[in-house]
Structures are given as C-alpha cells and as structure tokens.
Amino acid sequence: MNQRLRGWAVLGLLALVLGAAGIAGAQPIHIEYWHINSATFGGAAVKEAVERFQELNPDIRVTDRFQQGDYGGLLNNLQAALAAGNPPAVAQIGYNYRLFAFEQVPHVPFESFRDSDPGYDEFINSFVDGVLGLGQDADGVQRAIPLAVSVPLLYYNADLFRQAGLDPDNPPRTWEEVRQAARQIRERTGQYGIGIQITSANNWVPQSMVESNGGWLLDPEGRVAIDSPEVIEVYKFWQDLAQRDRTLPVVTDAEQEQAFVAGRLGMYIKTSAILQNFAQQANFELRTAPFPTWGDKPRRVAAGGNALFITARDPGQQRAAYEFIKFLTSKEGQTIWVKGTGYLPIVQGVEDDPRYLADFFAENPLMRAAVAQLPDAVPWAPFPGPRGFEAETTLAEAREAILNGADVEATLRETAAILRRLLGQ
Amino acid sequence: MRNAEPVQEGWSLETGPLSRAAWFVFLLVLALLALFPLWWMFTTALKPASQIFAGDLSLFPRGATLDHFRRLMGTFNLARIMGNTLVVAAVTTGFQLITSLLAAYGFARYRFPLREPLFYLCLGTMFIPIQVIMVSNYLLVSDWGLLNTYAAAILPQAASAFGVFFLRQQLRLFPQSLLDAARIDGAGELTVLFRIVLPTIRPFITALGILFFINAWNQYVWPVLVLTDPDMMTLPIALREFMHSEAGHDWGLMMAASTMGVLPALIAFLLAQRMIMSTFASTGLKG
Amino acid sequence: MKAMTEGRARRGRALSLGAGEAIRGYLFILPAVVLLGIFVYRPLLETLRLSFYEWNMVSPTQTYVGWSNYREMLESPGVRRAISNTAAYALWLGALVLVLPTIATVALTYMRTFWRRAFRVVLFLPNIISLATAGVIWLWIYNPIGGFLATVWDALGKFPVNWLSNPNTALGAIAVIVAWKAFGYNFLLLTAGLAGVPQEVVEAARVDGAEGWVLWRHILLPMLGPTIVFVLSATLVMAAEYVFTPIHMLTEGGPINSTTNVVFEIWRQAFRWFRVGYSSAIAICVFLLFLVITTVQMLVSERVVSYEER
C-alpha cells in the first residue's frame, strides 16, 4: 500500500512539474481572424498568410473564420460576438464602416503598442503615403491598420467584344462609350452588355460613379447630397441602361457575377480585388480597363478594402493580434495577399522588388488598370451614427427602385429626406 | 384523436367520364408542378457545367456527369455538415421524446394542484411564433456562452408542446387497471412507465419521433442565428452560406449540394411514406 | 389472505393519492415545464421588457424609452409595409394552399384507389424538403440569366422577368416557394379530414338525392369545416412564419421592402440594424396578433363543430 501510494505521489509530482513547465513554457496563444474572403475570393491567400505567420511565430496559432454577407455581415456577426463576450482577435472592417467601428466597436487602438514595440515607427513608415489615414480617427489616433486597397475596374470579355465587332484593345473609356459598347453587344450577340457591382447594401461603386461626375453621396462635411443634379444625372443614366437599353440586368450582384463568368455579360464593373478569382474562373479572354469617366471630368474612385482592428479582450491575444497585423501588412504578407486577390499593395517597395511583386506585376498586365487608378482614389464615404446601417440600406433601396423604373428625381429627393432624418441632419 | 394508423382510404364518388378526366388532368398538372423543381434539381446536378447556363431546356441531361458531386465532396465540408445536422436532429428528437413522454404521463396519470393551468400553459407555447422570442433566446444563449455549440441549437427546442399534447391524448386512453396492478406488485413509477406503458404506445412514439426528426433536420430559423461558425453549421444553413459565398456562381455545385440535402429525407419518405404521412395527418385531426 | 391483499391494495391506492402523487406528478412534468419556461416564457417576458428600451445589443447600457418604440411602430411606413405584405402573403397562401388543396381534395374523391394513393404521395413529397433547400432550388429556377423560367421566356421571345429583383413580383415569387412546399401538408390534412366522414352519411345523402355540387355544398364541405378552419389558421401561421426562411435566404426583405413581413422585421431590426428595443416592440405586437387569431380560431372551431353535430 505504501509503495503504491509513493509511486502515485511521485507520478503526481512529476505531472505537476511537467505541467507547470508546460504552462510556463511556450503555450501557444490562440487567436481568431475574421475576414470576408471566401474560397473564391482570396480565401487561399488568407490561409497561406496564416501558415507563413505561424511558421515565423510558433507560439501563436491563428484560426481564420470566413464571415458571410460581406463587410456588413461581418460587422453584424462581430457585434453579436461582442455581445456574447467572445469576439475574434482581429477583424476586417470595411473602410466605410470605420467611423462606426471607431465609436461603437470596442477595440484596442493599434498605436497603443507604440511604446512596447521598438519596431513600431519603422513599421508605420513603411506604408504608402496617405493610406494610414484610412485607419485614423478624427484626432489622428491610429486605431486600425489598413490591409489593402481596391478600386473598381471595368472587366470585359474580349471574346464577346470580338463577336460584337468591338476592338478588345480599345475598351470604352467614358460612360457614353460604355453605353454604346453595351448596346452593340446586346444587338450583335444577344447577351447583356454591362453589369455594375451592387454588393449587399453598400454604395461603393455608386459613390465612385457619383464623385466622378462631380457630385457626392455625402459631401465632405458629411451632409446628404444625393438630390443634387450631378447625382440625379448619374442615376438617370444607370436607369436608362437598365430600362431603355436593356443592356444592364436588374438582378442581384451574385447573379451578375454568375452571368459574367458564364460569358453572358459583356462588361462588369467590379472590385479589382476579385481579379485573380475571375482570371481563374473565366473560360474566355479576360481583360481589364480603368473605371469609366464622365466625359472629361476627372476620375474619382472610392478606395475599397478594409482595415484591421484588434478586438481581442485578453492582453496576450491582443499582443498576438498586433504581431499578426504587422505580418499581414509586411512586405511578405502583402506579397501573398496581392498575388492571391487583386488588392493593391499599400507598403512601399514591393512592386519593384524582384523578391516580392516585381515579377508578378510584370506578368499580370490586368493589374495595371488597377494600379493606374490609385492616384484617383478617394475615401469610401461612411454613413455615420447609430442609424448608419439603415441609411445605407435606404440608399440601396432607392437604387433598386430606380433600376426598376421609378422616377429618378422624385425617388432621390424622397430618399434624401429620409437619410437626413436618419443621420440627424 | 385518430391514432397513427394509415390514412383511411375513405369512400369515393362516381361521376361521368368526362368530368373524371377533367379532375384527373387537374391533379396531374398539380403533380407535375410538385415534382418538376425536384427533377430540375437532379438534372442540373448531373449536367456538365457548360450546359447549365447555356439556355438549354432539355429535361434529360445529355452526357450526365458526377463531376459536381465529386467537387462537392472536395470543396464543401459535407461530411462535417451532415454530421452536425445528424447530431442536432437526433439529440433534439431524443430530448423531445423523453420530455414529452414524461410530461404527458405526468399530466395524464396524476392529479396535482394547478394541473390544468400548467397543461394549458405548455400547450400555449405552440401558438407563440418562434420569431417573437428568438431575439431574447439569442441573447440568453450568448450570455451563457453557448453560441456555436450543439447545445445552443438543441436546448431551446428540447421540449415539445405538441409532443406533450399528442402523448397525453394517448395515455389517457390507457387502462388504469393495468397500471394499478403493476403498482400493487411494487413496481416503481418509472418502471411502470417504461415497462408497461411504453411498449403499448410504441407506434405513437415512433410516429412522433419521425415527425420530430424531420422537423429538426430541416430547421432553419433558430440554427441560423446561433450556428454561424462554418464548422458547426447544419445543412439548411450551410446551403445559405454556400449560396452567398463559395458556390454563388456554380449552380451545378449548388444543385448537387441540394440533392445531398434532399436525399436522406427522400429515401426515408419513400421507405416509410405511409407512416410518415399518417403522422403528419394526425397533427391536424380533431377528436 | 384476501383481506390482507385487499388491505395492501387499499394502502397502495392510498399511497398514490395525496402528497406522494402530487410530488410524482410534478416530477414527471418538471423537465418539459422547466424547458418551456426557460426558453419560451422567460424570453417572452424579456422581450416585453426590452420593448421599452433602446439598445444596440453591444453597449452595456440600455436606455429606457417608455412607449416610444410602440409609437414609432404606429407611424412607421416600413412597419405599415410589413403589415400589408403579411396580408398579401396570407392572400397568396390562402389561394394556393387553402383553396387549391380543397379543390384537389374534391378531385381526389373521384379517383380510383390506385390514383388516390399515387397522387397523395406525389403531392406530399415537397413537404419533406426543408424550406432552405426549396429556396435554393427555386432561386435557380427564378434565375433571370440562364434559369429555367428565363430560358422559357427567351424561347418565347419575351424579356425575362427578374422574379426576385422586381418589387412587383418578388412577394409572389416567395409565396410560390412556400406554397410549393406547404401544399402537401394542407392537402394531406384535408383528405384525411374528408376520409373521416363516415361512409353511411355519404350514402344516406346520395340516397336522398343529393349529387354533385349539391352534395358538396350542403353535406361534405360543411363536414370538412373543422379541418378547413384548422388549415386556415395553419395558413395564417405560414404567411407569417414560414415565409421567413425564403425571405432571409433570398431577398432579405427587398427589393424595396416588397418582401418583408412583420416577422422578418423583428429579425431585421435586431440583427441588421441593431435596434433590439424596437424589434421587441414589433415582436410583442405580433404575439398579441397571434393570440387573437388563435382565440378566434378556437371559438370558430367550437361553433363549427357544434353546428356539424346538429
């Protein structure tokens, strides 16, 4: 009896010691990364980045979790997870939600790590000019770090172009040219001519369209401006494409995408971020062109994409999240990211460096259209305040009504009134 | 209440051949409308990808291929999702049967204060739409830290008012004398319930179990709120996510996924349709 | 010997009465009652409480706002739209899964046994399928670029209709999905109800000279009365609850609020726009509505049954 007892005691002590050693030693920290990159939209790049990060940081384990419903859906789920007390460590917040997130989503400001990380300043200076502003609040506090930037592109099906008698080397440059080309495609091939991204409720492409015409959805002071003549003109044009020309299908965004990939839609205005995906899926010759302009007016495109927020509660996780974010926006991380998507890199020196993206950009002329537009990028307009979501949806509904034939001016005026009420103006 | 015997054939009426033919065509059209979407789903799942968007109306796929199913197995974590659905459905059914049986026995066999009010309170829950309470339930479940667990999907459905109602009806008909005889022999209450009562009402339990299982398997409204983690999703929810993300383009894949979702229920139905149908029928009959 | 057994029996019975029995009774019903209490009644009360607050689900503070949520509901055009949509769904479903199955039930009585069985099975089949799967299948059928209906329209030289993206057709399109699945259930209930009419009654009526339309109008349909009432209330429940799934999956209330209904608004206000208080106010009103409908159904049912027994 005594022997056995002693035996157990020794084993127990051993276990205790080993256990303590185990705990004291590198117990990996688990963090969750929430993103909107499905398997067909950069999911593989996410996994690759995670793997590489884990190689470099064996004491951190990252689980990536795809969230459906685009940035809005992710934000919804994030709010629910915060309410439940188990938020992820890192979350992608669309640029248009950044103000909302600054105020309403509990997070650890990125710059709070400045004092504890000697490499902080070097890291901050590695970014391309102006991009960091996407993660700063009104007081200039660096709360989040932008992951990447996308711009809307004009994708087109070169094969359909040829069939319709159009020259794929000379894509339409203005909206008027787009309209003509779309008509031609419709007449000569019977397929739809042009599609425009309308993902969920957000108004990313409409903002680009409107600001390129000199108008605003929300003017620089944040006031609702959708009932101005410039905006009305844009929506009228859009309506004509749908109703008069019948070259634009009035369907969901997913259906437009399906049609384009299946060769039933000639041109498609969509984010540059889906470039690699389209390139893989399309079995026709895919080409890209810059976002169309309104005659001679300067092009303005809203910078799409997201910023990474640290939403972890536990200090260990917060630190791990900080490191993870630094990796994703390092040269290596950006290289993986850009190659797998079509997002534009936001750190300096990657494009020309043969270790990183020089070859990629050389071999991928399709990316050029996107890169060429970076100078024209403007911030993605957020709908601020607690009723911001509703406001966004309301504007999207106005667009639906217009595309289905409603009177453009009346609809926009009505909607402007509703938006002003929702946004407290 | 009619017990779970096959739906009666009843009587039939005579009428002129022209009239009968007209009625027949009417029913035939309805039957075709009922079957057509399923047929379309099958054929799309078997069509080669190039034919799917090609504007091809043929009712039979030319050159049928299992390609979409193959890819489904590869892309979509089908095994995991079916597993989840099975666990949730089976455990929910189990809980519902047990709690319904116990409660029905309690209400039918015993007298105690507040028995009738309590019974009607239980019954009352059948008439409260799930959406009225789903937000509060969601907050409750998340406060308990149970989001994205099987428990979250199962617990709020673990008791079934209909089950209590249905079984109580059956138990009331159970002869008291048999129970008394057993009690006198010194049998404990639970023994009485399980050894004597249960075997006799087994067909009803089976019928109820089938009903519960099918409903739990197909459930969407509640699980979609609490199972957002791709590893924990059940089939109906996974279909939605699949639709919105991965396979949005790929109708061949989507239809293959739907086919997989439909297949278990379809097979079960074809094997036991009389029993299934009579169970569903008995949910509505008065008596 | 006999006295002893009897005595024991009497004691046994005595034991089963009184406190012992009550305790056992409570124990048996405990699991179900506790579960229903926690997961139905408590949330119901909590929803009532929340309806008087404004809360975005995340912040730790809930702001008391009294009746303001209810007042907003009364004035809100969005809610009014949801209500009118719910009524529209009820009409659609009434036509497709109440009237139509009743006619089909009539038709079935003229069929020979083999065909009856066959039709019953076939028409019930879609009911086994989950609404989610039904939604996906119909989404594909409705697809305006390459879907079945679009291809047919193309072949007929017409411009395809965007069933789910056009505010004029979207509600009907959703209703059709629910109707397709639910038809079988109502049909089954109605045929079972009709089969319950005793053969003698039918024979007696026919001997009395009642045939065809007269037979139906005065004898058979009234006997089907209670079943029809039940099916009617089931249909109303479908118009509110069932449609939720396809709406949630396919249109999320759009386009332009043409497919939302009162129950979907409950979800949308809470989970899309984070106004838990407002969502709860809508939920309470829906609950009261259902209370009314159920009570009316029970009263009518009583009256119809007593009429039938006359």
Task: Examine the pLDDT at B7 and tell me if it is beyond 50.
Answer: no
Q: What is the pLDDT of residue B32?
A: 94
Q: What is the pLDDT of residue C304?
A: 61
Residue A195, strand partner residues: A268
- A57-66, A204-213, B3-12: which range is least confident on average? B3-12
A6 — pLDDT class (breaks 50, 70, 90): low
* Residue B143 burial (CB count, 10 A): 12
pLDDT tens per residue across span B137-195: 988 888 888 888 999 999 999 998 888 988 888 788 777 777 667 666 766 777 777 77
B2 — pLDDT class (breaks 50, 70, 90): very low
Contact C165 A246 (CB under 8 A): no
Q: What percent of chain A has pLDDT over 70?
A: 93
Of C179, C194, C167, C152, which Cα lies nearest the Cα of C90? C179
Q: What is the pLDDT of residue C307?
A: 54
Q: What is the pLDDT of residue B193?
A: 73
pLDDT tens per residue across span C68-89: 999 999 988 889 999 999 999 9
Higher-pLDDT residue of B249 and C126 is C126
- The H or E element spanning position C8 is helix C2-16
The identity of residue B152, as a single letter, is: A
Q: What is the pLDDT of residue C230?
A: 80
| Chain B residues close to A38, C-beta within 8 Å | 245-246
- A206-210, B150-154, C75-79, C232-236: which range is least confident on average? C232-236
- List the structure tokens of C304: 């119809």
CA atoms within 13 A on the CB side of C181: 23
C-alpha to C-alpha distances, A156 to A59, A172, A269, B193, nearest whole angstrom: 46, 10, 9, 72
Exposed/middle/buried for A4, CB within 10 Å: 0-12, 13-18, 19+?
exposed
Task: Examine the pLDDT at A397 and tell me if it is beyond 90.
Answer: no
| Chain A residues close to B138, C-beta within 8 Å | 80
Asked whether A22 and A318 are in contact (CB, 8 A), the reply is no
Strand pairing report for A29-35 and A90-94: parallel
pLDDT tens per residue across span A272-295: 988 888 888 888 999 999 999 999
Mean pLDDT rounded to a whole number for chain C = 85
Task: Examine the pLDDT at B277 and tell me if it is beyond 80.
Answer: no
Mean pLDDT rounded to a whole number for chain A = 87
Task: Examine the pLDDT at B55 and tell me if it is beyond 80.
Answer: no
Q: Point out the residue among A76, A80, A262 whose CB comes nearest to the CB of C146.
A: A262
Q: What is the pLDDT of residue C310?
A: 43
- A221-230, A302-311, A366-375: which range is least confident on average? A366-375
Q: What is the pLDDT of residue B5?
A: 41
Whether B14 and chain C come into contact, CB under 8 Å, resolves to: yes
Q: Kindly write down the DSSP assignment for every residue of C91-110, as one continuous string.
A: HHHHIIIIIHHHHHHHHHHT
Whether A314 and chain C come into contact, CB under 8 Å, resolves to: no
Question: What angle, rounded to 10 degrees, do the helices at C113-128 and B251-271 form?
Answer: 130
Chain C contact probe: residue of B8, B13, B171, B239 with most C CBs at under 10 A: B13
Asked whether C286 and C47 are in contact (CB, 8 A), the reply is no
Å from A213 to nearest chain C CA?
26
Beta strands in A223-319 (DSSP E): 265-271, 286-289, 301-302, 306-310
Q: Which residues of C202-225 are buried (b: 16+ CB within 10 A; e: fewer)?
A: beebeeeebeeeebbeebbeebbb
Residues 371-400, chain A, touching C (beta carbon < 8 A)? 386-387, 389-390, 393, 397, 400
The identity of residue A126, as a single letter, is: S
Contact B244 A83 (CB under 8 A): no
- B79-83, B256-260, B282-286, C260-264: which range is least confident on average? B282-286
Higher-pLDDT residue of A371 and A52 is A52
Give the CA-trace dihedral at B136, B140, B146, B151, to 10 degrees: -70
Q: What percent of chain C has pLDDT over 70?
A: 91
Q: What is the pLDDT of residue B4?
A: 38
Task: Examine the pLDDT at B77 and tell me if it is beyond 50.
Answer: yes
CA atoms within 13 A on the CB side of A65: 23
Beta strands in C25-157 (DSSP E): 53-54, 63-64
Distance CA A256, CA A252 (A): 6
**Could you tell me the pTM of the whole model?**
0.82
Distance CA B277, CA C43 (A): 33
- A170-179, B26-35, B196-205, C241-250: which range is least confident on average? B196-205
Asked whether A219 and A425 are in contact (CB, 8 A), the reply is no
Asked whether B276 and B269 are in contact (CB, 8 A), the reply is yes
Beta strands in A290-395 (DSSP E): 301-302, 306-310, 377-378
ipTM of the complex: 0.83
Task: Examine the pLDDT at C196 and tell me if it is beyond 70.
Answer: yes
Strand pairing report for A265-271 and A192-196: parallel
Chain C contact probe: residue of A107, A251, A264, A411 with most C CBs at under 10 A: A251
Q: What is the pLDDT of residue A226?
A: 92
Q: List chains touching C (3+ CB pairs under 8 A).
A: A, B
Estimate the share of chain A in helix, then strand, then coil, as percent rounded to the nearest 5.
Answer: 50, 15, 35
Task: Examine the pLDDT at A13 and tell me if it is beyond 70.
Answer: no
- The H or E element spanning position C215 is helix C212-215
Asked whether B155 and B96 are in contact (CB, 8 A), the reply is no
- List the structure tokens of B274: 């009389």
C100 — pLDDT class (breaks 50, 70, 90): very high
* Residue A140 burial (CB count, 10 A): 9
Å from C77 to nearest chain B CA?
21
Q: Which residues of B159-187 are buried (b: 16+ CB within 10 A; e: fewer)?
A: bbbbbbbbbbbbbeebeeeebeebbeeee
Q: What is the pLDDT of residue B167?
A: 86
Asked whether C146 and A379 are in contact (CB, 8 A), the reply is no
Beta strands in A277-405 (DSSP E): 286-289, 301-302, 306-310, 377-378
Residues 6+ apart with CB under 8 A from B101: B163, B167, B193, B198, B205
- List the structure tokens of B188: 């404990």
pLDDT tens per residue across span C16-65: 456 777 888 888 899 999 999 999 999 999 999 999 999 877 777 888 99
Report the pLDDT averaged over residues A350-355: 82
B6 — pLDDT class (breaks 50, 70, 90): very low
pLDDT tens per residue across span A133-182: 888 888 889 999 999 888 999 999 999 999 999 999 999 999 999 999 99
C-alpha to C-alpha distances, A104 to A97, A143, B143, C57, C295, nearest whole angstrom: 10, 13, 20, 11, 44
pLDDT tens per residue across span A221-250: 888 999 999 999 999 999 999 999 999 999
C305 — pLDDT class (breaks 50, 70, 90): low
Q: What is the pLDDT of residue B265?
A: 80
Å from A96 to nearest chain C CA?
16
Task: Examine the pLDDT at B1 and tell me if it is beyond 50.
Answer: no
Task: Examine the pLDDT at B79 and tell me if it is beyond 50.
Answer: yes
Chain A contact probe: residue of C61, C158, C165 with most A CBs at under 10 A: C165
- List the structure tokens of A321: 């999240």
A410 — pLDDT class (breaks 50, 70, 90): very high
A342 — pLDDT class (breaks 50, 70, 90): confident
Mean pLDDT rounded to a whole number for chain B = 81
- List the structure tokens of B149: 């667990």
C6 — pLDDT class (breaks 50, 70, 90): low
pLDDT tens per residue across span B181-234: 766 676 677 777 777 778 878 888 888 888 888 889 889 999 988 887 778 889
Whether A262 and chain B come into contact, CB under 8 Å, resolves to: yes
Distance CA C187, CA C182 (A): 9
